[in-house]
């Protein structure tokens, strides 16, 4: 999207051309998803303003308030309204124009939207260690575990122990995994919170138990025929071909899709008698975070392991156990 913006100080034609491109480049200081969100949000406001012959940039606070009112009256999702609000704010601040979102009426309209349009957040339940144990027992009950089930089990283990999001889990390449004796490290090339895309390391310890992430990952790589000297860029979790002669990872180097990842994880959860509607791929990250938080892991290490930038984001993942909730009044010594 090109925003028309002119100032008398820049009459030079070449400088004017650069100036017209400025907003497009400045928005790329944000993550790709943020760029899409801001562009979409601003275009929604621009389309409405144009339809009523209202100036969209700089925006008049009253006009923008009326636009927000129209969204509230049509019962638009609060997330959409907030995205538009902050998109308009971003573009005005980027171009050093008067920010309409600072206007008291506009801010009050946003508060009205939050009260009127906000829907209850239905967070998915966190997966628990006992769930993982039950899945393991079920998968190994026949004596041998299929490669497909083993892939699912290892994905669950890594997602839980590494607090991994789907995008982080599915995009693990062979070269991203470094084994270091009693522990291993996974390089997360791109993470939601890694704004400069420097990459982050997740360190996971071995446990020596049947649920040991280290041992099971090594065994999975062996079963999947991924070994030292192989292409380091190959994704370790790929689609599987099954025939009468056996099963193996497909040669096409493409990570397992979100829909397929979600499907196999929910199938595993449903197989042990749980309602799969209550869970999702984020249940792995939430489960690991909840277990670590309730075990008293120091906050600094906890945030670093989960790659959270704020306490608010971190706390959304944690489900306090009953004992911790009761400890508040127990410590009052009443």
pLDDT confidence of 29, banded at 50, 70, 90? low
DSSP state of 238: B
Which residues have CB under 8 Å from 197's CB, separation 6+? 189, 190
pLDDT in tens, 71-110: 998 878 888 899 999 989 988 888 788 999 999 999 999 9
* pLDDT tens digits, 234-265: 999 999 998 888 899 999 999 999 999 999 99
pTM above 0.85, yes or no: no
Q: Write out the two tokens for 278.
A: 């209550």
Residues 6+ apart with CB under 8 A from 167: 190, 191, 192
Set out the domains of the chain in order of their start, with CATH numbers: 13-117 (1.10.150.130), 129-325 (1.10.443.10)
Cβ–Cβ under 8 Å, residues 82 and 38:
no
Q: Which residues contact 184 (CB under 8 A, 6 or more apart)?
A: 177, 178, 203, 204, 206, 213, 214, 217
């Amino acid at each position: 999207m090109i925003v028309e913006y002119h100032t008398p100080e820049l009459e030079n034609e070449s400088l004017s051309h650069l100036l017209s491109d400025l907003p497009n480049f400045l928005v790329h200081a944000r993550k790709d998803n943020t760029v899409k969100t801001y562009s979409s949000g601003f275009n929604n406001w621009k389309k409405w303003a144009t339809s009523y012959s209202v100036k969209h940039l700089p925006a008049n606070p009253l006009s923008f308030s009326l636009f927000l009112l129209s969204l509230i009256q049509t019962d638009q999702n609060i997330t959409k309204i907030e995205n538009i609000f902050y998109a308009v704010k971003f573009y005005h601040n980027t171009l050093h124009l008067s920010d309409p979102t600072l206007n008291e009426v506009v801010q009050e309209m946003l508060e009205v939207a939050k009260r009127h349009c906000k829907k209850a957040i239905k967070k998915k339940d966190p997966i628990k260690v006992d769930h993982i144990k039950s899945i393991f027992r079920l998968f190994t009950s026949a004596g041998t575990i299929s490669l497909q089930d083993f892939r699912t089990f290892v994905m669950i283990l890594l997602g839980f122990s590494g607090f991994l999001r789907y995008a982080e889990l599915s995009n693990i390449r062979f070269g991203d995994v470094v084994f270091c004796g009693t522990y291993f490290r996974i390089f997360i090339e791109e993470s939601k919170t890694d704004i400069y895309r420097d990459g982050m390391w997740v360190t996971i310890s071995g446990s020596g138990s049947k649920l040991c992430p280290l041992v099971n990952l090594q065994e999975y790589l062996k079963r999947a025929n991924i070994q030292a000297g192989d292409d380091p860029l190959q994704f370790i979790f790929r689609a599987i071909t099954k025939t009468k002669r056996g099963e193996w990872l497909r040669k096409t180097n493409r990570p397992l899709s979100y829909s397929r990842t979600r499907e196999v994880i929910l199938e595993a959860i449903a197989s042990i008698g749980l309602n799969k509607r209550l869970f999702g791929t984020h249940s792995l990250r939430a489960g690991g975070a909840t277990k670590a938080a309730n075990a008293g892991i120091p906050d600094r290490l906890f945030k670093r392991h989960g790659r959270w930038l704020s306490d608010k984001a971190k706390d959304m993942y944690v489900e306090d156990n009953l004992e911790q909730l009761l400890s508040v009044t127990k410590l009052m010594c009443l």
